[in-house]
Amino acid sequence: TKSILTPTGGFLSAFTHTLNPYVGCQLGNSFCGKYCYANAIALGIRKDAREWGSYVDVKINGDENYEKEYVDIKKKDRPLRIFMSSVTDPYLPIE
């Protein structure tokens, strides 16, 4: 199973985790996507050669993974502050 929560740092240090329900973005070929920083992240970190805006990969079982990860974080008595959709739009047309 893939993690749904990713620990943060840098400019997102006010948050403990990001939650991205998708990889990719349907808006990537629009005006929004033309200047989107997420394209560079997809190329640099994931080494994904697909054209930004041409794909959306849904994280399967995200709700179940979230529940498990939430329980693990709470067991450690840590706060949880989530930044939603740092590299994808949270409301894609496929919804």
Q: What is the pLDDT of residues 55-64, one digit of tens each?
A: 888 889 999 9
* pLDDT score for 68: 94
Q: Contact at 8 Å (CB) between 25 and 95?
A: no
Total tally of structural domains belonging to the chain: 1
Whether 92 is covered by a domain: the verdict is no
Whether 73 is covered by a domain: the verdict is yes
How far apart are alpha carbons 60 and 65 in whole angstroms? 9
Whether 94 is covered by a domain: the verdict is no
pTM of the model: 0.78
Q: What angle do CA 91, 51, 26 make, to 5 degrees?
A: 15
Mean pLDDT for 2-28 is 89
Averaged pLDDT score across all residues of the chain: 84
Containing domain of residue 74, as a range? 7-84
pLDDT at residue 1 tops 60: no
Whether 26 is covered by a domain: the verdict is yes
